[in-house]
Chain A
């Protein structure tokens, strides 16, 4: 279908310049990442030297004693993001499959529109919703119910205060669902129709055909989950408003917690001691590293689950 490119007329120099301009545009991204890494690492240096590896294993964050251990924040970030994924992945994937495979015309358009709307809401609005709407509901309905029915699990012990890890996980889940839905839907739509038609022709049911399509779309879907996870790991404002901000590690989802991003947002402005400030910057460095590690893990997961099926991965 595509027409062949016209023969070169202006010689190689224009092409060279063109290539250079584009390459430097792409290079700026690398430069920015490198500069962030260098600047953050530089700022974290005093803290790294003083606190060493204990920074990541100790639980006491005490500006009075000038002693800093970031484990509770690392824990809070990972658990709240994991909780968000547990809620958001089934919800997002289900809705993506519905939009791509089953819904037609106006229904699909309306749902897609609402999803895009969700993605465009500023995080502070989610925070306010979590604080004023979700928290009272959790406190009076869901958390008492969880305690009376599942209170034997350490996960659901404690007092129902409405804010805490559970609230943060739910708010984060709602924030990341649009990412999962919109990317997964595009990926599903990009799977060739012939795959579905072939499955149906071979006698597969509708559900089996969707299963086969999903399998083919796996790399792209995992990609959407990774992007969503990235947003959850770094979300600051909404989480700060609903998580309760305490530096204690608790097995219960009903208890308050804190994340790396929230502690930076909370304490940065009034952090006057040199080591204190440096410890906060080191948290930023750890958060940066966590994001890289999570991304790397997800990429290798994609690679492992798809084996050598590069063709499909490329098609998506």
Chain B
């Protein structure tokens, strides 16, 4: 199984490397390969294209899912991995060499709902949200929802909680948030790419969840912010830890990351959900590129360092067009520190 995957990846890499020979780019003939998360794939492929045009460096990326990206990095078949979730201490220890986490962009998980009866945005407290996905809040006129929506005539329709049926980074961020705000959720369900959902129905992918929500009055499901924006879904305002009901947006996502800056400076893998900022949307997360601290191939390592540096500076100007939230300045500084740690055979690689 794994051997096959590795072989396939190697073949793909070899073929692509062969193809790129005649490309006649500028200086570099280095080809980098990466694999991993699907969530940042649109912005990554845009970056790789822009970067190729300006530098001639070709970067190939397979969006096979965070789990697959980590596996391939571990097996050494790719130059970098990409993951929506930071590696736990245990998983970091399983890697053959020390790994650096470089946050690239931020995203948010939003709650799309279908309630034709109400016109203003639904407001949810963390407790009401946990109750909905726990199965304890069964109808829309439940006191837990009513309390946060004064003056709104909520219908008595049954609540249908829609979750992702496939393992996904989005579920991981969402369940991490629920675990952070609800001790009950933490002890009974927990956080992972798939969990034992106590209620509701599962649908495959962002498009499955949004399709289910659009179709069923009374349903509510979680999707990526970018997906909700592109499809004009009605999304709920969520109460953050300071008590404010915050609308999910690129600005409130960046604000959430900014509010977690201190923790991120100490450890870039720190949780960014439920951040304490007045404008912080509570379900925000970073997506990472994972690289080995010490690169085998100095030429490749140098190109990786250059690309990462480019992506966290100039690259950030391209992210909002694709509905990703840009990194706050504090996190860019943290990234610069991480990139400066990249070495090959003990020699630093970063040129800046």
Contacts and interface: CB of A to CB of B under 8 A. Distances in A.
B253 interface: no
A247 B201 CA distance: 10
A241 B204 CA distance: 7
Interface in A224-283: 240-241, 244-247, 256, 258, 262, 265-272
A268 B64 CA distance: 11
Interface in B180-211: 189-197, 200-204, 208, 211
B133 to A, nearest CB: 12
B60 interface: no
B65 A269 contact: yes
A136 interface: yes
B15 interface: no
Contacts of A63: 167, 192-196
B67 A272 contact: yes
B259 to A, nearest CB: 27
A306 interface: no
Contact of A136 (B160, B194, B215): B215
Given A64-B189, A132-B215, A270 B165 contact: no
A245 B167 CA distance: 12
A162 interface: yes
Contacts of A79: none
A61 interface: yes
Given A63-B194, A256-B202, A266-B167, A162 B65 contact: no
Interface residues of A, number: 34
Contacts of A65: 190
B197 to A, nearest CB: 6
A272 B91 CA distance: 10
Interface in A266-310: 266-272
Interface string A8-26: 0000000000000000000
B241 interface: no
Given A64-B189, A139-B216, A267-B167, A245 B66 contact: no
Contact of A269 (B166, B203, B208, B219): B166
A266 B197 CA distance: 14
Interface in B62-76: 64-68, 70-71
Nearest to A42: B1
B134 to A, nearest CB: 14
A112 interface: no
Interface string A155-183: 00001011110000000000000000000
Chain B CB within 10 A, most for which of A62, A240, A269: A269
A61 B65 contact: no
Interface string A38-78: 00000100000000000000001111110000000000000
A268 B190 CA distance: 20
A270 B64 CA distance: 9
B62 to A, nearest CB: 12
Contact of A246 (B67, B190, B202, B212): B202
Question: Chain A interface secondary structure, helix, strand, loop or mixed?
Answer: loop
Given A43-B1, A139-B216, A162-B216, A272 B71 contact: yes
B195 A272 contact: no
B160 A161 contact: yes
Contacts of A271: 67, 167
A247 B200 CA distance: 11
B295 interface: no
Contacts of A240: 165, 204
B216 A161 contact: yes
A270 B66 contact: yes
Contacts of A64: 189-192, 195-196
A126 interface: no
A197 B189 CA distance: 68
A85 interface: no
Contacts of B64: 269
A266 B196 CA distance: 13
A99 interface: no
A266 B165 contact: yes
A243 to B, nearest CB: 9
A135 interface: yes
A246 B200 contact: yes
A97 B290 CA distance: 63
Given A43-B1, A245-B201, A246-B200, A270 B194 contact: yes
B168 interface: yes
A276 B268 CA distance: 27
A131 B201 CA distance: 13
Nearest to A257: B201
B92 interface: no
Given A241-B208, A245-B203, A61 B168 contact: no
Contacts of A136: 215
B212 A269 contact: no
B153 interface: no
A262 B216 CA distance: 22
Given A64-B192, A131-B211, A245-B202, 19 more contacts: A62-B195, A62-B196, A63-B167, A63-B192, A64-B189, A64-B190, A64-B195, A64-B196, A161-B201, A240-B165, A240-B204, A244-B202, A245-B203, A246-B200, A246-B202, A247-B196, A268-B167, A270-B167, A270-B169
Interface of A: 43, 60-65, 131-132, 135-136, 139, 159, 161-164, 240-241, 244-247, 256, 258, 262, 265-272
Sorted from nearest, which 3 A-B pairs have the closest CB atoms? A270-B167, A245-B202, A245-B165
20 contacts: A61-B196, A62-B196, A63-B195, A64-B190, A64-B195, A65-B190, A139-B216, A162-B215, A245-B165, A245-B202, A245-B203, A246-B197, A258-B202, A262-B165, A267-B167, A267-B194, A269-B65, A269-B67, A269-B167, A270-B169
